[in-house]
Amino acid sequence: GENVEQHPSTLSVQEGDSAVIKCTYSDSASNYFPWYKQELGKRPQLIIDIRSNVGEKKDQRIAVTLNKTAKHFSLHITETQPEDSAVYFCAAVSSGGYNKLIFGAGTRLAVHP
């Protein structure tokens, strides 16, 4: 069945360092890959997304890369700040479905001042 694996489950960095979170998807028909940030007790909020016809996308300190052959995609956060601390979820949407998001298990990122 459809599955998204996400690593690491926790990540601790010093302020100013970079953070990388990696995901692997199983459904080769997946064509849309959003990343959500969830602060404690809050709703998931989209921070960046990428479609399968693009290999990389950047928005200020955040970038996402996609390797369709390997079925990997990654989130890169540069110059991390304490307010980046949250749980980050990757997700995948299959072109054969009706837009359901299959989420990874999440990465708890802690940025220490």
Partner 1 sequence: EPEVTQTPSHQVTQMGQEVILRCVPISNHLYFYWYRQILGQKVEFLVSFYNNEISEKSEIFDDQFSVERPDGSNFTLKIRSTKLEDSAMYFCASSRGVNNEQFFGPGTRLTVL
Beta bridge partners of 94: 30
Torsions phi, psi of 43, nearest 5?
-80, 155
Stretch that binds partner 1, among 16-24, 30-38, 60-68, 69-77 (CB under 8 A): 30-38
What is the rounded radius of gyration, in angstroms, for the C-alpha atoms of the chain?
Answer: 13
Residue 7 makes contact with partner 1 by CB under 8 A: no
Say how far apart CA 4 and CA 90 lie, in whole Å: 8
- CA angle, 94 then 96 then 102, to 5°: 30
33 to 72, contacts with partner 1 by CB under 8 A?
34, 36, 42-46, 49, 51
Q: Which of 19, 23, 66, 104 binds partner 1 (CB under 8 A)?
A: 104
Q: Closest CB to partner 1 among 14 and 99?
A: 99
> Do residues 65 and 55 lie in contact, with contact meaning Cβ atoms separated by under 8 Å?
yes
Amino acid code (one letter) for 108: R
Residue 92 makes contact with partner 1 by CB under 8 A: no
Residue 11 makes contact with partner 1 by CB under 8 A: no
Applying CB under 8 A, the residues found at the interface with partner 1 are: 31-32, 34, 36, 42-46, 49, 51, 89, 93, 97-106
